[in-house]
Structures are given as structure tokens and as C-alpha cells.
Amino acid sequence: MAVNTFWYGCNMTRHGEIIRLSQHILEAVGVEAAPVGGPGACCGSPKESAPRIAEGMADRTMEKFAASGTPRVITWCPSCHANLDDFMGQTKEQNFDSQHLCEAIHEQRDRLAPLLTQRVAARVFVDRHVGFQGRVPVNDIIPDLLGIIPGVSVVDHPYRAPSYMCFGLASVPGALADVQRTTLAAMRETGADTLVTIFHSCHREMIGLERGHGIRVVNWVHLLAEGMGLPYEDEYKAWRNAEDPLAAIGAERVAAAGETAVRKLVEPELSRPRLI
């Protein structure tokens, strides 16, 4: 039995490299954790239009955790983390502790520091939101971790975006565009050249800013990996910023996935207009 469970949730298809790097970093700092995720490990949602379906999804995931005997579940997705606190334990007993990924790594920062052997020249602005900070102090923990990386300086700025991550703003007309404009203005004020995202939803929304704005956009896990010398490729960012997303994916991979499905389900997202 693994000491912990690394629960990466069900929304992992776009950012598999972040999940793999997270697992690698946990192992490197001595945190043994068995990865669990995919459709069979969904958190459900109290906002699901069919509450009984949401309850069933959440119950199955809780049963899986209970059967494993894990004493601690390390979360990645903020929605999963919040639903675990607020929703999932209402019908199933929670017999384990929970902790966000950044907390688990931060606890081992003394073991992490010697592994950060590669200099990363970056003046970093962290994409911080107000909504999740009350659950996990990510706005403090993640800048502290990034500051350990040789060559990285984290700029200080009072701006905090609304909601718990960018996904929460998607249904509010103009909100995401306003956040992006304000973020770019704050980066100019502080001389930052690198925007670091905390959550996967924010990463999806912010990577398009690399085109035309003279900045680099990476996730905080990416930056830790660079400091450790771990190779990775952010393919979703490459596809989203490509002039021809399907060409960037490659004909062979498109054919393997099914061209009709890719054109219907993938291409529209990759080709959607940028907000600013």
C-alpha cells in the first residue's frame, strides 16, 4: 500500500505532462504516492444538473480511496479539492486526510532545494486568484517554492484575480479578458517576463498570451521541473499557439485519434479566438 494517494482527478487530457512531472517531483522529495485519476475517479459536483449522478460519481471515488487504506489524498485540481471538503464527504465517511499538491511539496522544501540545480532566468508574475486562498494558501506557498529555484525572482504585486481559478469566470461576459488585460498591465509595471499559472484552467486560458505579448507562460510545476533539469513538452500550449493546430498535432496522431473526432471535439477549442 502506498503511503499516500496522488489524486489528479478526471480533467487531465490537456495537461498530462504536468501530472507526470508532479508525480516525479513528489517521488524525488520522498513523498510516496500512488496516482489515481481518470473518469473512474471523478469528484462529481454539487452543481451537476443530475445530482444523483454526481453523488454516484463522488461515492465511487470515496469508496476507492477507502478501499486503498490511504491515510492521505494529495489533490491537484482545485475543484476536486473543494468538492472533497464540501460535497464528497456528505454521504461517505472520509477516513483520510487531504492536502493540496503544493502543500505536500512545500513540506519537503528542504529536500527539494538541493535538487534545484539548474539556473532558470525568469522574472516571475504568479497568476493568483482570491477564491482558493482560504482553503489552501497557494498564493503564498507557490511563490515561496519558486523562489528556491536558482535565477528565479518572483515579483510582488497586489493584484488578485477574482474567482478560485479562471474557469469560474468563463460564464461572465468580459471577465476573463479583463483579467488578462490587468495581468499584462501588472507584468509591465513589475518588469516580469514570465507568467506562472497555478491551476490547469488558468493555464489553458493564459497560454494564448504568449502570442503577441512578449511573455512566457508556464505552470508552477513546469518551472520546478526546469530547475530540477526534468525534460517536458507542453504540447497543449504548442497546439493552442500554432497557426495550424492540426498540423502541429501531426497527421499520424490525428488519424490515430480519428480525424472526425479531432475536428469536431479538439480543433474548435484550439482555434477559438483569443480574448485580447
For the stretch 227-245, pLDDT in tens is: 999 999 999 999 999 999 9
Tell the CATH topology of 4-107: Rossmann fold (3.40.50)
If we measure between CA atoms, which residue out of 220, 203, 190, 182 comes closest to residue 103?
Answer: 220
Answer yes or no: is pLDDT of 47 > 70: no
Share of the chain above pLDDT 90, in %: 78
Sheet holding 122-126, edge to edge: 152-154, 122-126, 194-197, 216-219
Average pLDDT over residues 95-109: 96
Q: Tell me: the pLDDT tens digits for 184-207?
A: 999 999 999 999 999 999 999 999
Gap between the Cα atoms of 29 and 102, Å rounded:
12
| Residue-by-residue DSSP string for the chain | --SEEEEEES--SS-HHHHHHHHHHHHHTT--EEEEESGGG----TT-SSHHHHHHHHHHHHHHHHHHT-SEEEE-SHHHHHHHHHTGGGTS---SEEEEHHHHHHHTHHHHGGG--S---EEEEE--BSSSTTTS-HHHHHHHHHTTSTTEEE------BSSSSGGGGTTSTTHHHHHHHHHHHHHHHHT--EEEESSHHHHHHHGGGHHHH--EEEEHHHHHHHHHT-----HHHHHHTSSSHHHHH-HHHHHHH-HHHIIIIIHHHHHSPP--
Q: What are phi and psi of 265, to 5 degrees?
A: -105, -25
Confidence of residue 110 (pLDDT cuts 50, 70, 90): very high
* pLDDT score for 149: 99
* pLDDT score for 249: 97
Average pLDDT over residues 15-27: 97
* pLDDT score for 48: 55
Answer yes or no: is pLDDT of 20 > 80: yes
CB burial class (10 A; 0-12, 13-18, 19+) of residue 173? exposed
Q: Which CATH superfamily is domain 116-228 in?
A: GTPase HflX, N-terminal domain (3.40.50.11060)
CATH 3.40.50.11060 domain locations along the chain = 116-228
Enumerate residues 6+ apart whose C-beta is below 8 A from 53. Answer: 44
* pLDDT score for 93: 80
Contact call for residues 35 and 70 (beta carbons, < 8 A) = no
**Beta partners for 152?**
122
If we measure between CA atoms, which residue out of 17, 8, 23, 13 comes closest to residue 234?
Answer: 17
* pLDDT top residue among 90 and 172: 172
pTM: 0.94
Gap between the Cα atoms of 73 and 84, Å rounded:
10
Average pLDDT over residues 166-176: 92
Answer yes or no: is pLDDT of 113 > 60: yes
CB burial class (10 A; 0-12, 13-18, 19+) of residue 69? exposed
Q: Tell me: the pLDDT tens digits for 242-271?
A: 999 999 999 999 999 999 999 999 999 999
Answer yes or no: is pLDDT of 46 > 60: no
Contact call for residues 97 and 168 (beta carbons, < 8 A) = no
Average pLDDT over residues 83-96: 82
Answer yes or no: is pLDDT of 105 > 90: yes
